[in-house]
Amino acid sequence: MRVQFKVVLFTILGSFLLFSEQASALSYFRVLVEGVESNLQTQGQMQTLEMDTDSGEVQLYYYVDEDSSRDINSGDYVIFMLNFVDNSEDFIPDTDPSEGTMSFPWGFNVPPGLYVIQAAEGESSIEIPFTVLAPDPLERSLSGTIVLEEVTPPDTRLANIPVLGGTFFTTMMVMFALTDDYGDFYFNWPGADDTLTIMVMGHIGGYEFEPAYSVFVDGHVTGYEITPRIAGMTEFLIFVEGVESYIQRQGEELVFDFNCQNYAEVEIIPYIDLDSNGTIDEGDLALFSEPLVFQDNNTYHIYPDLDTTAGRINVHIPFHFPPFHYLIQARDSYHSIYTHLRVLPPDPLLRSISGRVILESLTPPNPLLGTIVLKAEPEGSGDTFLGLCTPMGDYTINWGAAITDVEISFLAPYISEIYDFASIRRHIYADGFVTGIDLFVPLVAFEDSILINFSCDPDNYEVYPSNIQADYIDPLSLEVITSTILSDELPVYIPVRASSCGLLFRVIDPFFAEHVFVSPSIRDTIWISPSDYPESIDIYADPTNYHFMMILEGFDLDSVPTEGITVELTGTDGEGHQYYTPHTFFIDYYAEEYVVGGEHELCNGEWTVTIPELIEPGYLPAVTESSFSITETTDWPWFTMRIPVTHTAIDENLLPLTLDVSLYPNPFNSSVSIDFYNESQGLVTIDVFDLTGHKVATILKKNLPSGNHHLHWDGPNPENLEAASGVFFFKFTNDQNQKIMKGIYLR
């Protein structure tokens, strides 16, 4: 209360509240009582405060001398603070016109008691012990009490409330009082009958005082009560289909109505009363992770107020809670009201959607799943039907309308920021009771990160990290789980996911995608495990400024490839950065004949182009691989390569022999069978690697004759240790060929 009173008094004193940082010194300060210097005053006597000043302003503090020590000690407190300005003409004027001296007639009367008055200027101060006695004779008095509804004294909320009283009609006098913990206060003064104007300067949460109270005092008045009105919300009603009710059938119109007493905002929190006992107990769940907020007369809010009366909020609730018992809390800054609501299933029940929510790397049952709220928004209805997950992740959303097109998503704000709930939206055509609508939610935030050291060729136009995207690849399906665009704010980090995955980096800007090569090579997936991942990855973006043209000529016009031909371009620049880009060449008309050809931009370096051994439907290129160099230059030169092709009826027996390999079953559990064809006699090696590139086993290393061969492998636990499920790579090598196959091990 003391601090709040000081703030109010600052407002009253207006221009006195000016402060200075100028260094200053105070040489004297005294109090005159009825014109005579004194440190003793009978309440009602006139005071004059005199002091000098270097800076032009002095601060004055009235300390209550709690321990009667006559000086300021710990525990003494300021009841008000004043600021006097030299030659001020506002409020109480300085009556001494000379510069550097001040004299203020001061009629502010504090209650009888012991005080220490401190005058301070800069680093210097003067303290005067001061005693105030009750008036003698005591001709007028007023004793009263501040009464708070719903508060029984003694109560700390009733104590130390600053109260001002003033007489203005006969003799002007201002008095000050503090309440005790019963709310009692009193004023004494000598003089004639007068009207005492009372102002409560303190603030009590949840209550509002009138600006002023007036009482005529013609002697000793007792028992005067000041009763503030309750501030804030005093009423919370629920209307169902326009009638006050606390039972709703899901789908019926639900309206919340509040008397907010001119306080502009009310929040509600619907709690699921799991044990239906009518109280919020440990384990009872809030349906939303944050309160719903309603604002008085705000028609632009997400929940517009339908009642234009000030102090009244009437809001239509578009959410249809799942059938259950609820205890709904309405609250503002001061009050909280609980109201029951029971929601029944729709009748008739026409539509229903059920399924399971699956959170990446989380195994049910889990309490987190039991806090997820889903919503179904039927097309064109404007309503939202909610469903609550169980700890297993199962959910059901019901509605009784005939609408069939709905969008399923998660209710924001979301229960966990580490999952990408916001991106999950499913459009469902529900023509009855639809089951099996499972929703997979990927992780987006992780504890561990990889530092991306990004750099770009400074001699060309600049590529920013935000032009590069990292794709997270599922090791089983090889599909993209999720993607993240690199940040332009350095340093750049990308998260390590909770399960093993691959990383691919690629250019996503439509313009740069045609002109920039990214290293590390996007052909080579970087496999990342949460237990074994690199602390950093170097990425180099090289804007190209060279053109490469390749021409495949000699096609029969009656049987040209219509889908185009994909070739692979691999390269290494002068700094050792490795690049890879696939490119598809399409049919074109060149030099009066139809050819498959096309052009692509490359950076300077050593490049190799690889062409398929067989180009459907039966074209054979003269060469399948060719290397060339591109030297750095300032212009955009053309590098052209011509490769003739022939078309023939191909006998598969005449094709070059290859290393033919198969694994089965795949995925495998206890063992896997390996069949392969070796084209000629020689050394055959079969090595197995995990996702991190660590060699798990060498299955075979032996000279074999040409022909078909068969063997078994008992899986990645040769020491009879349980190995985790995952992906393994089988590398087959003979004298002429090398082949890698992926096998999936399920424990």
- Cβ atoms 148, 158 nearer than 8 A: yes
User: CATH 2.60.40.1930 occupies which residues in the chain?
Assistant: 2-133
Q: Can you give the length of the chain in residues?
A: 747
Give the tens place of pLDDT for each residue, 619-657: 777 788 888 887 776 666 677 777 877 765 444 343 334
- CATH tag for 657-745 (out of 1.10.275.10, 3.40.50.10140, 3.30.930.10, 2.60.40.2550): 2.60.40.2550
Q: Compute CA 343 distance to the chain's CA centroid, rounded to the nearest angstrom.
A: 31
**pLDDT band (50, 70, 90) for residue 32:** very high
Residue 3's pLDDT band (cuts 50, 70, 90): very low
The residues of the chain that CATH labels 2.60.40.1120 are: 351-441, 546-653
Look over the chain and give the mean of its residue pLDDT values, rounded to a whole number.
81
Helix (H) or strand (E) holding 6: helix 2-13
Cα end-to-end span (Å), the chain: 69
Residue with the bigger pLDDT between 504 and 669: it is: 504
Note the pLDDT tens digit of each residue in 251-268.
899 999 998 876 678 999
Instruction: Decide if pLDDT at 739 tops 60.
Output: yes
Phi-psi region for residue 150, left (φ > 0), alpha (ψ -120 to 50) or beta? left
- Give φ, ψ of 619 to 5 degrees: -95, 135
Which pLDDT score is estimated for 656? 38
Q: Is residue 735's pLDDT more than 70? A: yes
Residue with tokens 């009366």: 309
At 282-323, the pLDDT tens digits run: 778 888 878 999 998 888 888 899 998 888 999 999 889 999
CATH architecture of the domain with residue range 449-543? Sandwich (2.60)
335-360 pLDDT, tens per residue?
888 999 999 988 888 889 999 998 87
Task: Identify the pLDDT of residue 108.
Answer: 74
Confidence (pLDDT) at 633: 66
Q: Is the pLDDT of residue 591 over 80?
A: no
Q: 597 versus 372: which is more confidently predicted? A: 372
- Which ranges in the chain are annotated with CATH 2.60.40.2550? 657-745
Q: What is the CATH number of domain 140-230?
A: 2.60.40.10
pLDDT of residue 523: 55
Task: Rank 295-309, 437-451, 476-490, 525-539 by mean pLDDT and report only the highest.
Answer: 295-309
**204 membership: H or E segment, kind and range:** none
pLDDT of residue 164 exceeding 80 = yes
Q: Regarding predicted confidence, which is higher, 65 or 559?
A: 65
Please write the tens of the pLDDT for every residue from 87-126.
888 767 889 999 999 998 887 778 788 999 999 998 889 9
Look up tokens 């371009």; give the residue. 569
Residues 6+ apart with CB under 8 A from 717: 723
pLDDT > 80? residue 690: no
pLDDT for 667 beyond 50? yes
d(CA 631, CA 63): 87
Give the whole-angstrom CA distance, residue 465 versus residue 530: 24
546-653: CATH number: 2.60.40.1120
Name the residue type at position 67.
D
**pLDDT given at position 654:** 37
Quick one: 2-133 is in which CATH superfamily?
Macroglobulin (MG2) domain (2.60.40.1930)
Domain 235-344 of CATH type 1.10.260: no
Whether 250 and 398 have beta carbons less than 8 Å apart is answered as yes
CB 572: neighbour CB atoms within 10 A?
15
Mean pLDDT across 244-256: 93
Architecture (CATH level 2) of domain 351-441: Sandwich (2.60)
600 pLDDT more than 80 = no
Per-residue confidence (pLDDT) for residue 9, from 0 to 100: 37
Contact (Cβ atoms closer than 8 angstroms) between residue 173 and residue 189: yes
Question: Among 30-44, 211-225, 261-275, 392-406, whose mean pLDDT is lowest?
Answer: 261-275
pLDDT value for 659: 54
Specify the pLDDT at position 616: 64
What are the b/e assignments for 217-251, b being 16+ CB within 10 Å? beeebeebebebeebbbeebbbbbeeeeeeebbbb
Q: What is the pLDDT of residue 408?
A: 94
- In this predicted model, what pLDDT tens digit does every residue of 558-587 receive, in sequence order? 566 666 788 888 888 877 888 877 777 776
- Which burial class, exposed, middle or buried, applies to 459 when counting CB atoms under 10 A from its CB (0-12, 13-18, 19+)? exposed
Half-sphere exposure of 564 (CA within 13 A, CB side): 9
Residue entry with tokens 């209710």: 411
Q: What is the mean pLDDT of residues 717-725?
A: 56
For the cut 60, the answer to whether the pLDDT of residue 239 exceeds it is yes
Beta carbons within 8 Å of 98's beta carbon, 6+ residues apart: none
Q: What is the CA radius of gyration of the chain?
A: 43
**pLDDT over 70 (residue 595):** no
